[in-house]
Amino acid sequence: MSDAIARYIAANPASAARTKRAAASLPGANTRSVLHFDPFPLAFERAEGAYLYSLDGARYTDFLGEFTAGLYGHSHPVILDAIRTALDRGLNYGGHSELEGQLAELLIARFTAMELVRFTNSGTEANLMALALALHHTGRTKILAFRGGYHGGVLAFGSGEPSPVTVPHAWVMGDFDAVEATRALIREHELAAILVEPMQGSGGCLPASRAFLAMLREEATRTGALLIFDEVMTSRLFPRAEPGFEGVVPDLMTVGKYLAGGMSFGAFGGRRDLMAAYDPTRPGALFHAGTFNNNVLSMSAGIAGLTHVLTDAALTDLNARGDRLRTRLNEVVPTTGLGSLMTMHTDSQDLFFELIDAGYWIASRGMIALSLAITDEQCDAFADTVAEILC
């Protein structure tokens, strides 16, 4: 481990200098906590296709895919053309355009759970607004969430309890994928909402069983709670119009990340009768603001990606590629996930630094998110490298 870190320090003086300089203006030289690791984080200056280029001039094959947001790869020409066209027409109008309706139509056609949809600037915001709707609709206050879950910077439960910055709702904490224990919790508490990732992403790419999700659907219906699927990450695991994750359709669904082609974006949607509460033509409508909710860059990039890049065939091929990679990795290191999302589980950061030394970029916690730019050959080479490091 010490040798790997020593090689990392020697190879990346520009990243070290960036950290020292930025620390004068940013706490810990950081404004996105997940990117920090000791002795200092790697810093990049550009990206293209499947590759990242560091400040020190090294090239890395990107197996992290911007924590699932970079599904299209870096600088995809279709996305770039859409953004350039949007720039030529003006950045923000302070009014409506045709773009937001077009993107909404694409999302509703893609996700069975969405009969109406609203846009936000992030998945975090989408989850916050969905929860607000659930509390308003039910007149209740308690929300069931799960240990290890992550629903945004202010909705984090990685320690098993709400983090110090988590919004102070009346949280009820459950154990993920524990069917009967969770059923008992739901029956014990009068819940407004059940908030769940069908596969915990930041918690280690741990998929829920169909039995667990079906139980949540059954109990939510029986008790009058709203079932909210946070699919900010997992919505990329299935082709268009899949009838819910594992066939289970929630009342509300949140998405984000890749759906705006790398621009800031989030959305929440669901049953028409629920989402109608945000209709400003109705008396007593819920207020939902956001200066950049319908910004032309996110709308344009999102439309271009869903119309011209993310075909069902491309997505099916990508997730099959991920399944093959996960099978190979499991030969040498425990790896969980589905399709193009996975996490290698190891207690040592040695693998992380050795992969950097070999020219690969993943999350320091072992998470991998494949982009459409990653090839079978690159996956094979990555799996070979992991095997060489660990064996």
**Alpha carbon distance 271, 251 (integer Å):** 6
CA distances from 298 to 65, 87, 316 (A): 18, 11, 24
How confident is the model at residue 92, as a pLDDT? 87
Query: Which distant-in-sequence residues (6+ apart) come within 8 Å of 276 by Cβ?
Result: 116, 282
Beta bridge partners of 266: 120, 256
**Alpha carbon distance 366, 354 (integer Å):** 12
Enumerate domains of the chain plus CATH numbers. 2-40+51-59+311-390 (3.90.1150.10), 77-309 (3.40.640.10)
Which of 60, 62, 177, 257 is the catalytic position?
Answer: 257
Task: Count CB-CB contacts under 10 A for residue 339.
Answer: 23
Low-confidence stretches of the chain (pLDDT < 50) are none
**What is the per-residue pLDDT across 153-199, written as a single tens digit (0 to 9) for each?**
999 999 999 999 999 999 999 999 999 999 999 999 999 999 999 99
How confident is the model at residue 349, as a pLDDT? 84
Which of 8, 60, 62, 230 is the catalytic position?
Answer: 230
CA–chain centroid gap for 367, Å, is: 12
How confident is the model at residue 86, as a pLDDT? 96
**What is the DSSP code string of 18-50?**
HHHHHTTTSGGG-SSGGG--SS----EEEEEBT
User: Residue 150 catalytic?
Assistant: yes
**Alpha carbon distance 55, 45 (integer Å):** 5
Q: Are 157 and 150 in contact (CB under 8 A)?
A: yes
User: Residue 142 catalytic?
Assistant: no
Q: Are 155 and 202 in contact (CB under 8 A)?
A: no
How confident is the model at residue 18, as a pLDDT? 98
User: Residue 230 catalytic?
Assistant: yes
How confident is the model at residue 6, as a pLDDT? 96
What pTM, to 2 d.p., does this model score? 0.97
How confident is the model at residue 362, as a pLDDT? 98
Give the helix/strand (H/E) hosting 368: strand 367-369
Going by the DSSP 8-state scheme, the letter that residue 63 receives in this structure is: S
Strand, coil or helix: what is 309? helix
Going by the DSSP 8-state scheme, the letter that residue 201 receives in this structure is: T
Could you list the beta-strand ranges (E) of 206-359: 206-207, 226-230, 252-256, 266-270, 335-338, 341-344
How confident is the model at residue 184, as a pLDDT? 98
**Alpha carbon distance 129, 293 (integer Å):** 13
CA distances from 391 to 315, 323, 383 (A): 32, 22, 12
How confident is the model at residue 348, as a pLDDT? 73
How confident is the model at residue 375, as a pLDDT? 98
CA–chain centroid gap for 197, Å, is: 10
Which of 8, 51, 150, 278 is the catalytic position?
Answer: 150
How confident is the model at residue 1, as a pLDDT? 75
